[in-house]
Amino acid sequence: MKFKVDENLPIEVAEVLQQAGYDAATIYDQNMVGEADENIASVCQLEKRTIVTLDTDFADIRAYLPEEYFGIIVMRLRQQDKLYVLDIVKRWIKVLSEETLIGHLWIVDEKQIRIRS
């Protein structure tokens, strides 16, 4: 599984994913800081990567049809400090072996993961 971590998340999210055995790159790694969401989405499609973001625009299934992507994870958190975000990421990593990402939108909050296809 391959991930792209959006610029609105700590780069350590990629490190946590890598430590769990996943291929994870950041927007910073590819000099895509400030790129439009549409461009990021297109690159993720080409690279067969799941986008991980705090940007709720990616949760709009009219603009980003889940079945066209290798996964979209939108984190909707009350707090967005680094340690809090990393803690939530570590929680949903455990679910990756049980649920599919390809063709799905995951909305992650503190209590649950809602999965839409």
Give tens-digit pLDDT for 47-89. 999 999 999 999 999 999 999 999 999 999 999 999 999 999 9
Predicted TM-score (pTM) of this structure: 0.94
Annotated domain spans of the chain: 2-116
- Statement: residue 28 has pLDDT above 90: yes
The tokens for 11 are: 């780069």
Enclosing H/E stretch for 18: helix 12-19
pLDDT band of residue 109 (cuts 50, 70, 90) is very high
CB 110 within 8 A of CB 89: no
Q: How far, in whole angstroms, is CA 102 from its chain's centroid?
A: 12
Residue 56 half-sphere exposure toward CB, CA atoms < 13 A:
3
- Statement: residue 36 has pLDDT above 90: yes
Question: Given this model, what pLDDT does residue 117 score?
Answer: 83
pLDDT band of residue 46 (cuts 50, 70, 90) is very high
Query: What's the CATH class of domain 2-116?
Result: alpha beta
Strand partners of residue 106: 73, 115
pLDDT band of residue 97 (cuts 50, 70, 90) is confident
Question: Given this model, what pLDDT does residue 112 score?
Answer: 93
The tokens for 21 are: 């055995």
DSSP assignment letter at 63 = T
